[in-house]
Each structure stands twice: as C-alpha cells, then as structure tokens.
Amino acid sequence: MLKKNVFITGANGGLGFETVKTFLKNGYNVICSMRKVDKKFEKKLSDLTKKNNQTIKILEFDLNDHEKVKNEIINLIKEKTIIDVLINNAGFADGSLFEMTSINKLKEVFETNFFSQIYITQLLLRLLKKSNCASIINIGSIMGIRAEKGTLSYGSSKAALMHATKIMANELSIYGIRTNAIAPNITKTNMLDKMDENAKEVLLSETYLNRPAKVEEICDLILFLASSKSSYINGQIYRIDGGMT
C-alpha cells in the first residue's frame, strides 16, 4: 500500500511543526514549505524521518514570491508527485485598531494570509486531482468569526480564507476533492507569547475551559479532516475554541 503525501505550508511554526510530526507518525510522506530553513530545524526533521521511516521534502520559499512558488510546484509536477492532503497553515498575526491600520499593512496581511494561500492551492490542484481521496484543510481563526477590537487585518484575512473554503468545497467536489477549514482559538505557540496580554485575558475569560488550545488538539482535528474517517465532511468551518460565549 502506497503511503499518502501531505503538503504543509508554514511548517516551521509552532502549529506547522506539530502538524509535520503528526502526519509522519501516522504514515504520511511530508512535503513542507517554509520561508527559511535553519540547521536546527533540518536536524529536527532528519531525526523525525529516521524515527518514522517516512520521506520528507523541504521547499524553501516565501509564499509571496509567486514566481519562486510556481517554479517549485512545476518541479513537483515534473516528478509526477501526487498530493493527497494540502494544509494551508502559513500566515502571520497582526493587530491594530481600525483607525490605526494602514491600507499597506492590510494588503501585506492579506497577501500572506489569503492571496498566497489561494495561489498555491491553484497551483497544486493538478497534483491533488491525481489523488483518489484528496483533502484540503485551511487554517482559519476564531478571529475570522468574532468581531474583536484590533483584529481588522488578521481577522478579515482569515474570514476571507474561511469563506473561500466553502467556495472551493463547492467547485472542487467535482474532482473528489474535499475542502474544510478550522477556526482555532488562541493556541499555545510562540505567537501566543507575542499577543497583547489584555486581549489574551479577554479571550480566555470567554472560553469555558479557560485555557488556550494545545497544538496537539488542533493537529488531531487536522488529521481527522485529512483521513477517510471524514469522507462525507465537506465545506465546513470547525470552531475549536474550548467553548466560547
């Protein structure tokens, strides 16, 4: 039985790296992309592949460099690669009040969190169509659902990605490709350490479990949506927020 291939963007972030580990442990070969690879990260990946007996390919590019992205995907096409699962995880957070958010900053956030995700998905469709059970999972955010102060750029970009998820599910189902998204609450990663303390306290106080999500809990849901166990789930936005009022 052939191992399945998963493509993960933003693989060197807290959630990204945990996702890589999760899929390796569950028998997938991994293709991961990131802006910059350092020796420490390469060593981590090397240790993981030896332990799990899977293959891993690292693609180093900035998602906003569309020409570079295109060239890397063309190479995958030439190698006759099949992509069974695509996880659009790359993105970055930005916070400022509406009056203080410049149009340039808004464009910058949308470029990474929305436009680049759409672009790489379009390029990878040719490889996803080769799979007999392809699944796309977009990483949205609870901020794309809730109208919290200071989240204009980040929240709007994630809302756009989550709405696009429903369109993709509708249009790509003809190829047997399912598309879903998850909307996590604040998650215990390095990004959480950079978050404004007041904003963090507000979100936690409105969460029944009164704690941030663990990356493992997010990855469990990602793995489920990638698997045949969710074969009739399509076009859904899953809130994983610990219960919020």
Encoded amino acid at 124, one letter: L
Task: Look up residue 78 and give its two tokens.
Answer: 């030439």
- 107 vs 52: CA distance, rounded Å: 40
By 3-state DSSP, what share of the chain in percent is helix, strand and coil, each rounded to 5?
50, 15, 35
Q: Which one from 28, 119, 154, 232 is the annotated catalytic residue?
A: 154
Task: Decide if 154 is catalytic.
Answer: yes
Contact 58, 96 (CB under 8 A): no
- Give the sheet arrangement for strand 5-8, strand by strand: 56-60, 29-34, 5-8, 85-88, 135-139, 178-184, 237-240
Active site amino acids: 154
